[in-house]
């Protein structure tokens, strides 16, 4: 095993543009939408909506189809029923269907095209490493797959602990640009250290395979839980929101924006949530990187921020706060803020500054109005009207957890000033702030009036002097 050399830490602008352009091509299906991005998850796919164990190859295929936007859970359930009915009348009732048979049913039902099915079949057969040999690690089972890599549950033999190993797909490992992108993701993740972020332990290459090793998170993603329960209770959603907000604050303090906060990238582990997958993360202040992506809608359509959807160059932590808002909206209502037949249609709705999602507490009357206001503030189309920093959101979340209304949500920073933890803003404070602002404006008006009077006097004197000199 050899470590990666430091080398160049970012793509040349033209390479970055070309790679992201390819990765941003939308997969269009009749039900679900998603941009094709390297948004794999290190989730443990132990239980799917149908109760299938993670070792079942078909459940892994299903997860990949949903996360990559080829099909919706409803499409997969109908295909499962069709296969079960066929097996019950066949020669081998109760047998587990093959991936190829499953893809054929999806083609018959109009969910996949023939070319998509053929390509996916080739991936199943040829684009997964046949023999995984990484010194020091024993591969146990495949637990996830995305557009760029495959994730395995493994044992680190030197210390006898379970880890997750992410391996770059062999077809992509032949391209230096994808290798560099993979290396960059590992380095950014390794630079972060927070209990609410999935940590990177090691990275390197062996036998032509590029990999990095992460902590293994025993649990399910928010996306998997949504498939099971439909929607979350407010208190559980608040706890998850707090964990992710703290993770974002840590990343922001170290100059990184995630750019792909969504249910599939949030792992639920015991009493906390962990944010995973830095495949689309970038340094906030990297102008070269930002300019290379100008005009590209980088992200996942259901949760993408308006500024990302418009391909704006200058984005910051507020884009992650919007995506967290879209995730929370989905968690408590059972559906994303905006829906459509294609990824482009969904992305346009996020980008439209005049279009707002229905208030979440209108779709679910079991959540409090305070929680609804927090989510609406996160989803403000104008980022000036969102929370400006994760710590502002954390302040309001603590209030909600304590049974108190939010302080900062929907308050104008220009009118009332930025509140921080420990501050409060009651009605008397609001009136005092408004009164102070009115008095300040009155003083400006008085000052302008006085200056106008002085200028008038000076003008009169000047005019009189001119007339007097003319008479003389």
Q: Which residue numbers are catalytic?
A: 260
Beta strands in 75-160 (DSSP E): 137-145, 149-156
Strands 149-156 and 26-28, bridge-based pairing: unpaired
Nearest to 217 by CA among 51, 50, 46, 39: 46
Q: How far apart are CA 343 and CA 79, in angstroms?
A: 23
Nearest to 294 by CA among 321, 324, 315: 315
Q: How far apart are CA 136 and CA 151, in angstroms?
A: 17
Buried/exposed code over 22-60 (b: 16+ C-beta within 10 A; e: otherwise): ebbebbebeebbbbbbbbbbbbbbbbbbeebebeeebbb
Angle 259-215-208 (CA atoms, 0-180°, nearest 5)? Answer: 85
- Token pair recorded at residue 317: 């932590």
Greatest alpha-carbon span in the chain = 124
Q: How far apart are CA 387 and CA 379, in angstroms?
A: 9
CA-CA distances (angstroms) from residue 271 to 175, 303, 467? Answer: 41, 25, 87
What are the residues whose beta carbons fall under 8 Å from the beta carbon of 195, sequence distance 6 or more? 272, 274
- Token pair recorded at residue 154: 């493994």
Are the C-beta atoms of 173 and 209 separated by less than 8 Å? yes
Beta strands in 131-199 (DSSP E): 137-145, 149-156, 161-168
Q: Please identify which residue in the block is written with the tokens 């949500």.
A: 409
């Amino acid at each position: 095993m050899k470590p990666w050399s430091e080398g160049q830490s970012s793509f040349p602008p033209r390479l970055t543009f070309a790679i992201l352009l390819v990765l941003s091509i939308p997969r269009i299906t009749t039900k679900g939408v998603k941009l094709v991005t390297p948004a794999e998850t290190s989730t443990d796919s132990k239980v799917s909506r149908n109760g299938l164990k993670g070792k079942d190859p078909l459940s892994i295929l299903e997860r990949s189809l949903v996360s990559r936007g080829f099909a919706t859970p409803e499409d997969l359930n109908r295909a499962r029923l069709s296969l079960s009915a066929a097996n019950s009348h066949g020669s081998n009732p109760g047998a587990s269907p093959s991936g190829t048979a499953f893809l054929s049913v999806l083609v018959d039902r109009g969910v996949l095209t023939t070319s998509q099915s053929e390509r996916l079949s080739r991936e199943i057969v040829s684009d997964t490493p046949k023999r995984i040999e990484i010194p020091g690690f024993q591969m146990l089972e495949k637990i996830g797959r995305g557009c760029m890599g495959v994730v395995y549950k493994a044992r680190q033999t030197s210390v006898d602990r379970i880890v997750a190993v992410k391996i770059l797909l062999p077809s992509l490992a032949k391209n230096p640009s994808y290798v560099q992108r993979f290396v960059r993701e590992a380095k950014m993740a390794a630079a972060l250290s927070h209990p609410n972020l999935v940590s990177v332990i090691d990275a390197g290459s062996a036998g032509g395979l590029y990999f990095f090793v992460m902590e293994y998170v025993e649990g399910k993603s928010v996306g998997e839980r949504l498939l099971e329960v439909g929607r979350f209770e407010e208190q559980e959603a608040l706890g998850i929101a707090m964990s992710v907000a703290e993770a974002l604050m840590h990343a922001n303090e170290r100059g990184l924006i995630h750019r792909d906060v969504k249910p599939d990238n949030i792992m639920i582990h015991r009493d906390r949530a962990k944010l995973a997958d830095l495949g689309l993360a970038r340094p906030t202040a990297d102008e070269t990187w930002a300019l290379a992506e100008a005009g590209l809608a980088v992200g996942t359509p259901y949760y993408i921020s308006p500024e990302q959807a418009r391909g704006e160059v200058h984005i910051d932590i507020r884009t992650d706060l919007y995506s967290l808002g879209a995730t929370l909206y989905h968690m408590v209502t059972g559906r994303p803020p905006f829906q459509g037949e294609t990824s482009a249609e969904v992305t346009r709705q996020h980008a439209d500054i005049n279009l707002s999602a229905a208030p979440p507490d209108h779709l679910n009357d079991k959540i409090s109005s305070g929680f609804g206001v927090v989510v609406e503030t996160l989803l403000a189309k104008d980022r000036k009207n969102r929370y400006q920093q994760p710590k502002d959101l954390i302040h309001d979340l603590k209030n909600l957890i304590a049974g108190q209304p939010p302080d900062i949500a929907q308050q104008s920073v220009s009118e009332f000033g930025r509140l921080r933890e420990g501050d409060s803003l009651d009605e008397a404070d609001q009136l005092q702030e408004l009164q102070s602002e009115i008095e300040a404006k009155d003083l400006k008006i008085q000052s302008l009036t006085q200056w106008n009077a002085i200028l008038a006097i000076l003008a009169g004197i000047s005019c009189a002097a001119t007339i007097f000199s003319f008479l003389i």
